[in-house]
């Protein structure tokens, strides 16, 4: 089976999460794993990465995936597609020229469309596997008059080829297209037009010498993520809040099993706690701020009722992270991992002065070091700490990151590559820092988050 995974905005985190999930031995999600008998990531065995870009990653598995369950688990994956076919393409050919005889009504009905008695609703999306396809071609001096068809016109051209073919076969259909400045349909458009129920979203994944055709199997539930974020009783806009999707990604990087207990020692208003509960973990949250814990209690009570979470699956306490071992001892829980957004210091609306940055890094370094010393008292060997640490966004792609993570290295922790080296070396487009971590930020925010993974020796 071949699948396409449409990546989120911070695509490096999307890839990291997907690989972390597929390499875990969870038969309920996948039938084959990334790791071979040696423990190394084995892409020549079982699951293979076939193609990848900033937009989409294509894999091949020897057995079918549980797509519905996988989609709900993955915070960084926007859509999951089933690859239907691979079409050869000459480099000089446009996408619509390579496909002009492919989408016949019989193929559409058999391979793409959902069985539906009413008017078929279908959408058309294009994802680029080779970014050179987005470049304007050089003019040919042999031709005095030459027209250049933008690739952003391709969805409409191909969509109309399909629609006209259906009309000729007396099949009534409605076509849904991306906005002119986009090549693909947003998940909200797919959902609100009921494309997966009344027809299909047809996807074209374009490389220089081939085209993958695919149909969408699932899309991210944007309404539910919005509910989990914006409908909670308590929000803290001033301090900034980690989005539920990012919390989910971090939890999936923790390498835990269903039913394990995870600690968030800087839990704030409880975002990581709630996402951990949805993923099947037991959660313990603590924070030095009593107001934050009160907000977390209100949010989690709402969350527990809304999502039918069984009683006793989480606990909340007021506690300094540097003294949290007493809390763990009293709870008698065995902590399998820590997933947390560490304190990020002051929030800025504009880039701070260098002396402020240096002071913030120094102060937080002391806090993190004391906290990691405390975590060593109860974390077992091989347990992971997945953490957001402070970074500052200077501009697009330019960040001031923590000068050193030695506060952990000297305490019996190793820094784990966010993405296995064999994958990172293959996927050159990934945006990894020099220490193989990734940055999550928003365009309107100065304070960013560096996602790091530590493992206890």
What band does 289 get if pLDDT is binned at 50, 70 and 90? very high
Task: Name which of 47-56, 128-137, 207-216 the model is least confident about.
Answer: 128-137
Kindly state the average pLDDT of the residues 419-425. 94
Q: What is the pLDDT of residue 151?
A: 87
| Residue that has been written with the tokens 């506060």 in this structure | 407
Q: What residues have CB less than 8 Å from 227, skipping those under 6 apart?
A: 306
pLDDT for res 240: 62
Spatial neighbors of 129 by CB under 8 A, at least 6 apart, are: 51, 52, 53, 55, 56, 58, 205, 206, 207, 212
Q: What is the pLDDT of residue 32?
A: 41
If one compares 20 and 397, the residue with the highest pLDDT of the two is 20
pLDDT tens profile 338-378:
999 999 999 898 999 999 999 999 999 999 999 999 999 99
* Average pLDDT of the chain to the nearest whole number: 91
**C-alpha–C-alpha distance, residues 82 and 84, integer Å:** 6
> Comparing C-alpha atoms, which of 41, 42, 83 is closest to residue 60?
83
Give me the mean pLDDT over the 373-399 stretch: 95
**pLDDT given for residue 145 in this prediction:** 41
Query: How far is the C-alpha of 327 from the C-alpha of 334, rounded, in Å?
Result: 12
pLDDT score, position 149: 52
Asked if pLDDT for residue 321 goes beyond 90, the answer is yes
The pair of three-digit structure tokens given for residue 299, joined into one six-digit string: 């949010």
Q: Can you tell me the mean pLDDT for 262-288?
A: 97
Taking residues 255-277, report their average pLDDT.
96
Task: Report the b/e string of 96-117 with b at 16+ CB within 10 A.
Answer: bebbeebbebeebeebbbeeee
pLDDT, tens only, 94-145:
999 999 999 999 999 999 999 999 999 999 999 999 888 887 555 445 444 4
- Mean pLDDT computed over 253-261: 95
Using the predicted structure, report yes or no on whether residue 42 has a pLDDT greater than 70.
no
Q: What is the pLDDT of residue 236?
A: 79
Give the pLDDT confidence score for residue 238 in this predicted structure.
Answer: 65
State both tokens at 12. Answer: 């490096």
Is the pLDDT at 212 greater than 80? The verdict is: yes
What would you report as the CA-atom Rg of the chain, rounded to the nearest whole angstrom? Answer: 24
Instruction: Give per-residue pLDDT as tens, 216-232.
Output: 999 999 999 999 999 99
Give the pair of three-digit tokens for residue 163: 């629609």
Read off the pLDDT of each residue in 318-323 and give the average, rounded to a whole number: 96
In sequence order, the β-bridge partners of residue 248 are none
Distance CA 113, CA 402 (A): 50
Task: Spell out the domains of the chain, with CATH numbers in brackets.
Answer: 2-134+150-220 (3.30.2130.30), 233-456 (3.40.50.150)
Q: What are phi and psi of 438, to 5 degrees?
A: -135, 155
Going by C-alpha positions, the residue among 37, 33, 39 that lies closest to residue 59 is 33
Q: What pLDDT is recorded for position 25? A: 62
How much is the pLDDT for 239? 61
Residue 47 confidence class, pLDDT cut points 50, 70, 90: confident
Q: Concatenate the DSSP letters of all residues of 318-330 into one string.
A: E--GGGHHHHHHH
DSSP strands (E only) in 40-148:
48-52, 56-60, 77-88, 120-128
């Amino acid at each position: 089976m071949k699948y396409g995974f449409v990546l989120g905005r911070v695509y490096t985190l999307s890839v990291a999460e997907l690989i972390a999930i597929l390499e875990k031995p969870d038969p309920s999600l996948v039938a084959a794993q990334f790791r071979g008998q040696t423990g190394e990531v084995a892409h020549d065995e079982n699951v293979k990465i076939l193609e990848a870009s900033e937009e989409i990653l294509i894999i091949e598995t020897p057995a079918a995936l549980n797509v519905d369950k996988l989609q709900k688990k993955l915070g960084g994956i926007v859509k999951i597609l089933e690859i239907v076919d691979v079409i050869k393409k000459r480099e000089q050919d446009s996408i619509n020229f390579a496909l002009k005889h492919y989408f016949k009504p019989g193929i559409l009905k058999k391979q793409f469309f959902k069985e539906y008695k009413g008017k078929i609703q279908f959408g058309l999306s294009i994802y680029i596997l080779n970014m050179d396809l987005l470049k304007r071609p050089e003019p040919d001096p042999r031709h005095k008059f030459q027209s250049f068809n933008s690739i952003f016109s391709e969805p409409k051209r191909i969509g109309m080829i399909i629609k006209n073919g259906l009309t000729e076969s007396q099949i009534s259909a409605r076509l849904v297209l991306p906005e002119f400045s986009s090549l693909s349909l947003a998940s909200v458009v797919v959902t609100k037009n009921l494309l997966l129920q009344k027809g299909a979203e047809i996807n074209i994944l374009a490389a220089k010498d081939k085209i993958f055709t695919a149909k969408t199997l699932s899309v991210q539930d944007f309404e539910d993520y919005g509910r989990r974020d914006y409908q909670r009783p308590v929000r803290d806009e001033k301090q900034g809040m980690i989005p539920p999707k990012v919390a989910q990604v971090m939890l999936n990087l923790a390498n835990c099993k269903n039913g394990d207990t995870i600690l968030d020692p800087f839990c704030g208003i409880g975002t990581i706690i709630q996402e951990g509960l949805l993923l099947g973990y037991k959660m313990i949250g603590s924070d030095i701020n009593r107001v934050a814990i009160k907000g977390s209690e209100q949010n989690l009570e709402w969350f527990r009722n809304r999502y039918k979470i069984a009683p006793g699956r989480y606990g909340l306490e007021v506690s300094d992270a540097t003294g949290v071992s007493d809390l763990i001892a009293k709870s008698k829980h065995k902590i399998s991992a820590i997933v947390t957004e560490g304190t990020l210091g002051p929030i800025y609306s504009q880039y701070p002065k260098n002396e402020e940055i240096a002071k913030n890094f120094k102060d937080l370094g002391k806090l993190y070091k004391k906290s990691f010393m405390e975590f060593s008292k109860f974390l077992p060997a091989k347990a992971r700490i997945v953490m957001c640490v402070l970074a500052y966004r200077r501009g697009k792609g330019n960040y001031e990151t923590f000068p050193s993570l030695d506060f952990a290295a000297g305490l019996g922790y190793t820094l784990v590559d966010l993405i296995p080296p064999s994958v990172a070396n293959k996927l050159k487009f990934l945006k990894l820092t020099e220490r193989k971590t990734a940055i999550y930020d928003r365009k309107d925010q100065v304070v960013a988050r560096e996602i790091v993974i530590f493992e206890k020796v």
